[in-house]
Amino acid sequence: MSTENEGNEVPQAPSAPPVPVASPAASPQGPAPDGNAPTTPLPPVPGAAPAVPAADANASHPSGPAPDGTWPPPQPPTPPHGAGAPYGDGAPYGDGASYGDGGAAGYGTPAGPGGPGGPAGPTGPVWGASYQQPAPRPRGRGGLLAAVLVAALVAGGLGGGLGYTLAKNHDDTGSTTVSASDSGAAQVRRAPGTIANVAAKALPSTVTIEAEGSNGDGGTGTGFVFDTQGHIITNNHVVADALNGGKLTATFPNGRKYDAEVVGHAQGYDVAVIKLKNPPSDLKPLALGDSDRVAVGDETIAIGAPFGLSNTVTTGIISAKNRPVASSDGSSTGKPSYLSALQTDASINPGNSGGPLLDASGAVIGINSAIQSTSSGGFGSGQSGSIGLGFAIPIDQAKFVAQQLIQTGKPVYAKIGASVSTGDSTDGAKITDQGTAGSAAVESGGPADKAGLKPGDVITKLDDMVIDSGPTLIGEIWTHKPGDKVTITYKRGGQEHTTDLTLGSRVGDN
């Protein structure tokens, strides 16, 4: 497997508040409510005249002769609510059309025929259900209830008015909008296990790296603080352009920018270490996890600068472990890197290279290094975006490499001392008949020679790891350190054999 190094339209607002769906239709002329039914408080009627009792044609006048032609007195002015007559005069509150009755459905709709007192009321926008005026009820406990309600309304009005007055007197801006404190965002506390909390702690220890070659070529990648001395871990392909007389800079999320230099790089591992010039004294290295203990399904958090967008955080899970990956920078002279990688579906794009892959606790479990590209029909070198297949160097391996680079400036590789085919294969890693540049396929006196391996042998396992190709074998060997003892399973002449060997070492990218 080879990979690429990755260096509703808003609806219009309604013109009026919505009408409730479950509004009951108004009764044109319903029966009077029962005397024990609860009394609905009436809204105040602006300009309404006091109630006048109706004259009884059969009753004698207690103070003298029958009233003259001026009785009953003239009707008072028509109230503005569209009522046919003033409340209590001759008929209940606009009798003939009870508050928009007579077929109209809602407040402000055309009123029905007016009562004895006046014409129909005005029209207006429909905001709600119709209102049915209840008939008058006998006096008694209801009067006390009404008095209590009135007192409560008065008290509520006084309280509301007092509150409004106090708020207005203390509002220097003239606005009645209630806003959160400016420092409210800083006071939000998030649990340690949340992605926001992990990102907040990790971001200050990540940098965006800009590499520029002497010929003007360059690119952008990511790195993270490895120690308090100013060492930053990243990918080899991130800094490759600046290796021969180029320029490196590292920028922190707070905007602080530092010149940097390459301490060492390992092309085969795709790991590099740079050091800040005049580093700050407040550097906080990221905690390193244990990539061997990572399990498929564990949460992952990736930080980087995809397509130059610094300080970007994405999330996902571990999709697979020990994924054999042969990656390159796509150049004609670039040599491949071989990884036994952590696979994640967290979005990783060009620019995420060298950034940390974190677990749910915020510990670094890998270095984001490669993505699958569809630009060439599979794995290739185009600048395609994430399709959910990203690969990271396990931190256990990267830590060892970084320490070697800081100490000596050169990488150290484990080896078996045999040349294997890197062509397509599914059967295993075959030891070639001849080594590179005419050398022997099996190094004389090397680990493979001492273990009895010969040209033509096909290695199918290294310890319990199935080996299906040469790149898979190389990537798996490089997860070990020189001096580690491993068990090799191989086939010779159709027969399966096993042998133990102690891994040797190779210094530098030869």
String of DSSP letters for 217-267:
-EEEEEEEE-STTSEEEE-HHHHGGGTTT-EEEEE-TTS-EEEEEEEEEET
Give the confidence band of 156 by pLDDT, cuts at 50, 70, 90: very low
Give the confidence band of 190 by pLDDT, cuts at 50, 70, 90: confident
500 Cβ partners below 8 Å, 6+ apart?
A: 451, 485, 486, 487, 488
Catalytic-role residue among 328, 337, 353, 373? 353
Q: Is the pLDDT of residue 454 over 50?
A: yes
The DSSP secondary-structure symbol of 467 reads -
Closest CA to 489 of 476, 502, 481, 499: 499
Q: Using only the alpha carbons of the chain, give its radius of gyration.
A: 43
Measured CA to CA in angstroms, residue 260 lies from 241, 246, 283 at distances of: 14, 11, 15
Contact 250, 257 (CB under 8 A): yes
Contact 475, 325 (CB under 8 A): yes
Give the residue with greater pLDDT, 202 vs 131.
202
Mean pLDDT in residue range 323-329: 83
Q: Is the pLDDT of residue 495 over 50?
A: yes
Contact 137, 39 (CB under 8 A): yes
pLDDT at position 217 is 84
Mean pLDDT in residue range 5-13: 42
Q: Which amino acid is at 42?
A: L
Q: How far, in Å, CA of 70 to CA of 7, rounded?
A: 101
User: Which of 170-184, 190-204, 328-342, 484-498 ranks highest by mean pLDDT?
Assistant: 484-498
353 is an active site residue? yes
Task: Pick the range with the lowest mean pLDDT from 67-76, 92-101, 240-249, 363-372.
Answer: 92-101
Contact 368, 358 (CB under 8 A): no
Beta 504-507 vs 312-328: how paired, if at all? Answer: unpaired
Q: Is the pLDDT of residue 292 over 60?
A: yes
pLDDT at position 129 is 35
Mean pLDDT in residue range 257-270: 96
Give the residue with greater pLDDT, 23 vs 504.
504
Q: Is the pLDDT of residue 24 over 80?
A: no
Q: Is the pLDDT of residue 22 over 90?
A: no
Q: What percent of the chain has pLDDT over 70?
A: 59
Q: Is the pLDDT of residue 135 over 70?
A: no
Mean pLDDT in residue range 481-507: 96
How many C-beta atoms lie closer than 10 Å to residue 348's C-beta? 30
What is the pLDDT of the chain when averaged over all its residues?
73
291 is an active site residue? no
460 Cβ partners below 8 Å, 6+ apart?
A: 427, 428, 466, 467, 489, 490, 491, 496
Q: Is the pLDDT of residue 81 over 60?
A: no
Q: How far, in Å, CA of 288 to CA of 285, rounded?
A: 9
Mean pLDDT in residue range 483-488: 97
Give the residue with greater pLDDT, 130 vs 186.
186
Q: Is the pLDDT of residue 43 over 50?
A: no
Closest CA to 39 of 125, 112, 144: 144
Peptide bond into 72 cis (omega under 30): yes
Catalytic-role residue among 101, 270, 329, 345? 270
Which pTM was predicted? 0.63
Q: Is the pLDDT of residue 75 over 90?
A: no
349 Cβ partners below 8 Å, 6+ apart?
A: 6, 304, 306, 307, 371, 385, 386
61 is an active site residue? no
Contact 421, 429 (CB under 8 A): yes
Catalytic-role residue among 81, 237, 265, 480? 237
pLDDT at position 73 is 55
Q: Which residues of 371-380 are buried (b: 16+ CB within 10 A; e: fewer)?
A: bbbeeeeebb
